[in-house]
Amino acid sequence: MINTGIDRIPHKWLEEIINLSVERIVVVNREGMICYINSAYCEFLGTTVEDATGRDVREVIENTRMHIVAKTGKAELTSVQAINGSDMVANRYPLIVEGELVGALGTVMFRNPEEWWDYKRKIQPLLEELKYYKKKFENELKSKYTFGDLIGKSPSFLSAKNLAERISGSQSAVLLLGESGTGKELFAHAIHDNSTRASFPFVPINCASIPEHLLESELFGYDEGAFTGAKKGGRKGHFQVANYGTIFLDEIGDMPLSMQSKLLRVLQEKEIQRVGGQKSIPVDVRVIAATHRDLEKMVEEGKFRKDLYYRLNVIKIEIPPLRNRKEDIHLIANNLLKKLEKRFFQQGIELSEQVIEKLQQYTWQGNIRELENVLERAINVLDGKRIELIHLPLYLRDQDKETDFDLEYQVDKDVATNHTVQPLRKTLAHAEKQAILLALRETNGNKQEAAKLLEIGKTRFYEKCKMYEIK
């Protein structure tokens, strides 16, 4: 016979364990005679353990059904039973030992409905909070856009959209290329929504926004005790959360080289290993990556792994910038206005012909994101239902095909026509000045942005402007 260790626990201990584990308990045999009843139940009934034990349960407990359960073998759960003028909530279970019905067990969780309602009031807020976060979590892991949300009719855009639709049912990796603000994330959402994985999670990750020392644990998760402050029980990473679904790795060009090799292993082996963990966990995830960087150039410079590039570049989709989609600007602007109307609780906002013309003339370095910002700004200062030129920012309002700003920062073309050899110092200074003028023209006179384009510090840029008398 197997020694379970129960025989080593004193009878008094067992009785105390039972008293602590449940509030009130009674046990009867097949004839309905009380074999055991704890002191908590006796106190509620107004009797003692000695007086109740061995008696018919019907003599001790008012309105009991324990004798019935002991004969039928059918459990009765959360039954309301009146005892001593109050209604209590009781559970009755058949006792089956080695396949034979030997009696019944009864427990009382709440002496009256008031105790139940008090318990419910305490736990209900926790249940509601859990339900809220569960729903929020599920909603955030669903795709928010479809191909119907991708607006445009220009040939270059339609080519990209049609290709994305065709490959959405595939399981292959997708690489989305395009400038910031062109809608790469919308394409990723639409591809997932139109795929066989649509009912599973869509997990977007911005690789540039996560600190390098946290990126591995964010992507692959960690085991308990992996590092100081690690959550008890560990935590799932984004790849595990996205299992059977799609993971969108935005700004993949900003991923550190050390992480690129680990990502490559996941894509090749289709398994991850948590930080601090020893076992491999299989994952089935489709990867959609996106970047505004020139990955081929980064591969040549050794800044991006060639093997990872080819692993991601199975299906490449290039999304054209807005300045190459002039015919789409009106359509996109109207679509953005509908979205903004909901945010501002307005209806029927439209663009004047002059505004449409100005929007189509502009170069849109910030692409659709910049266009949305311009429209939002216009709605904020709008005093009617029609957006006019006066509601546009000054840099848009004053532009022409050749704007005053372009004339102010006109690049000197003498370099292209004057073949006179100049001293190297003078030639370099001239080239530096022209580079600054070009950057200022591209950023519409924004010196901070121009400094970023030239990849120099703001202070140094202002010093150069002063040196070359550029206002």
Q: What is the pLDDT of residue 135?
A: 63
In the block, tokens 């034979």 appear at: 100
Give pLDDT tens digits along the chain (471 positions). 445 555 577 777 777 776 666 578 899 999 999 999 988 888 888 899 999 999 999 999 988 999 999 999 999 987 877 777 666 778 899 999 888 999 999 988 765 556 656 766 776 677 676 666 666 566 678 888 999 999 999 999 999 999 999 999 999 999 999 999 999 999 999 999 999 999 899 999 999 888 888 899 999 999 887 777 777 778 889 999 999 999 999 999 999 998 999 999 999 999 999 998 888 999 999 999 999 999 999 999 999 999 999 999 999 999 999 999 999 999 999 999 999 999 888 899 999 999 999 999 999 988 999 999 999 999 998 888 999 999 998 888 776 544 444 444 445 544 444 445 667 777 777 888 888 888 888 777 888 888 888 888 888 888 888 888 787
Kindly compute the dihedral angle of the four CA atoms of residues 150, 151, 156, 159, in this order, to the nearest 10 degrees. Answer: 50
Q: What is the pLDDT of residue 120?
A: 64
Q: Among candidates 431, 435, 433, which has minimal Cα distance to 468?
A: 433
Burial 147-170 (b: 16+ CB within 10 A, else e): beebbbebeebeebbebbeebbee
CA distance 108 to 84: 14
Bridge-based pairing state of the strands 34-37 and 202-206: unpaired
Q: Measuring CA to CA, how many Å separate 26 from each of 41, 54, 57, 137, 334?
A: 8, 12, 9, 44, 73
Burial 275-305 (b: 16+ CB within 10 A, else e): bebeeebebebbbbbbbbeebeebbeeeebb
Residue 440: DSSP 8-state: H
DSSP secondary structure string for all residues of 367-436: HHHHHHHHHHHHHHT-SSSEE-GGGS-HHHHT--TT-HHHHHTPPPTHHHH------HHHHHHHHHHHHH
Residue 33: DSSP 8-state: B
- Report whether 332 contacts 151 (CB < 8 A): yes
- Report whether 259 contacts 216 (CB < 8 A): yes
φ, ψ (nearest 5 deg) of residue 89: -105, 120
In the block, tokens 């920012």 appear at: 393
CA distance 368 to 183: 7
Bridge-based pairing state of the strands 34-37 and 24-29: antiparallel
Instruction: Give the amino acid at 60.
Output: V
Which tokens is 427 given? 């030639």
Q: Among candidates 279, 172, 173, 269, which has minimal Cα distance to 221?
A: 279
CA distance 293 to 304: 11
- Report whether 411 contacts 438 (CB < 8 A): yes
Cα 205 from chain centre: 8
CA distance 232 to 205: 24
DSSP secondary structure string for all residues of 294-308: -HHHHHHTTSS-HHH
Q: Among candidates 21, 18, 26, 120, which has minimal Cα distance to 81?
A: 26
Q: What is the pLDDT of residue 4?
A: 53
Q: CA 132, 190, 344, 373 torsion: positive or negative?
A: positive
The answer for residues whose C-beta is within 8 angstroms of residue 135's C-beta and 6 or more apart is: none
CA angle, residues 129, 132, 137, in degrees to nearest 5? 125
Q: What is the pLDDT of residue 408?
A: 46
- Report whether 346 contacts 313 (CB < 8 A): no
φ, ψ (nearest 5 deg) of residue 29: -90, -175
Q: What is the pLDDT of residue 219?
A: 93
Q: CA 384, 388, 390, 392 torsion: positive or negative?
A: positive
Mind listing the domains of the chain with CATH numbers?
7-114 (3.30.450.20), 147-318 (3.40.50.300), 322-399 (1.10.8.60), 405-467 (no CATH)
In the block, tokens 């394409």 appear at: 187
Which tokens is 144 given? 């928010």
What residues does 24 pair with on adjacent strands?
Answer: 108
Instruction: Give the amino acid at 242.
Output: A
- Report whether 470 contacts 436 (CB < 8 A): yes
Instruction: Give the amino acid at 94.
Output: P
Q: Measuring CA to CA, how many Å separate 162 from each of 132, 147, 329?
A: 38, 9, 19
- Report whether 94 contacts 76 (CB < 8 A): no
CA distance 341 to 369: 17
